[in-house]
Homo-oligomer: A and B are copies of this chain.
Amino acid sequence: MGWGYLLITLYSRDSDSDQRSSGQLVSVAKGSAIYHQGDEAGFWYEVVSGIVRTCRFLSDGHRQLTGFFYSDDVFGVEASAYHESAEAVTNVLLRRFTNRAADDDSDSEADARGRVLEKALESARRCIFLFGHRTAANRVAAFLIIQAERSGAQSGLQLPMTRSDIADYLNLTLHTVSRTIADFARKRLIALDSPQHVRILDLDGLRALSGEPDGDSGSDAYPASPREGVGL
């Protein structure tokens, strides 16, 4: 432990003129921190390639992951200070932008910020969605489905994060995650080619286990809301 802190390479020379519109390219090595919770929120980031995780550290030493971010995802959108830390799961290439709400109050600026905020909100809701599931099987199944949808590939799914990462994201222990995934493989819901490489064999079975017909990657196609029995 206690190794490197931050490895950043700036590809764009000019430090202030260009970054507002196009964004400054930043490279971060696997395992390194991008920013820490409590730091002043100078930038928000867009993933160009690789995977990023955001996490909080609670006072009891426990770690809580709040999101995984793939290409085109954004993170670090904050008003003042970062609520959470961001770390590189793999080697990542990022594009960063200044994080001021009304810094330059041009039309496009505020609109862009709105779009970014919506993405951040979507990410937060995905996290809430996962937490909402009761059992370990529920959560892991929902997680696998979401990761499959987000990473694009339907059958062959990569899980570059560790079991510990997944556990802290789903609020489980790495043991339970490992056991649950092994269970899924035993039941032929998935094939476990290697710990990081999963193939989904029975998507419908997984969906049934997740307790939700919709993977929740998009925005519409929600189950019919129960119009009756509102008051509880």
- Chain multiplicity (copies): 2
Q: Which one of A1, A39, A232 has the highest number of Cβ atoms from chain B below 10 Å of its Cβ?
A: A232
A-B interface, 5 closest residue pairs, ranked by CB to CB distance from nearest: A110-B110, A31-B231, A131-B131, A124-B124, A36-B225
Give A contacts to B, CB under 8 Å. Answer: 1-5, 31-33, 36-39, 56-60, 62, 64, 66, 77, 79-81, 83, 85, 87, 101-102, 105, 107, 110-111, 113-114, 117-118, 120-121, 124-125, 127-129, 131-134, 162, 164, 171, 211-213, 219-220, 222-232
Q: How far is the CA of A76 from the CA of B146 in the complex (A)?
A: 24
A101 in contact with B83 given A121-B121, A171-B132, A211-B58 (CB within 8 Å): no
Interchain CB contact (< 8 A) of A131 among B101, B128, B231:
B128
Q: Which residues of B have CB within 8 Å of A107?
A: 105, 107, 110
A38 in contact with B222 given A101-B114, A121-B124, A128-B124 (CB within 8 Å): yes
Q: Which residue of chain B has the shortest Cβ distance to A111 in the bound complex?
A: B110
Additional A-B contacts beyond A81-B220, A117-B121, A124-B125 (9; CB < 8 A): A5-B227, A31-B231, A57-B223, A80-B219, A83-B125, A101-B111, A102-B111, A128-B131, A131-B131
Judge whether A59 and B171 touch: CB under 8 Å: no
Judge whether B222 and A83 touch: CB under 8 Å: yes
CB of A125 to closest CB in B, whole Å: 6
